[in-house]
Amino acid sequence: MENIKHNVNEIKSQIKTLEEELNKIQGQCDHPNVVLKYDDNSKSVLKICNICEKVIGYPTTEELKNSDYL
């Protein structure tokens, strides 16, 4: 049981480190190519950088119309 707990803690630590690295990389991106994608989790359309895959925000009504979401 102790080995399982150790493995779980190690994996969680690795995930945290990787998430921090991802945030750093995404923070350096200028997001030059943004696309609109439907997100099943939030049930909404999001603006996402096509390079680093960071969620930039929500599209405007005009952006939704231009992308045939409305």
Q: How far apart are CA 29 and CA 14, in angstroms?
A: 23
Separation CA 64–CA 58 (nearest Å) = 10
46 burial class (0-12, 13-18, 19+ CB within 10 angstroms)?
middle
Domain residue extents for the chain: 1-30, 31-70
So what's the pLDDT on residue 2?
A: 82
What pLDDT digit, counting tens, does each position of 15-47 carry? 999 999 999 999 999 999 999 999 999 899 999
Q: CA 55, CA 45: separation in Å to the nearest integer?
A: 10
* Helix (H/G/I), strand (E/B), else coil: 38: strand
* pLDDT at site 69: 83
The pTM score is 0.77
How much is the pLDDT for 57? 95
Look at residue 67 and give its three-state secondary structure: coil
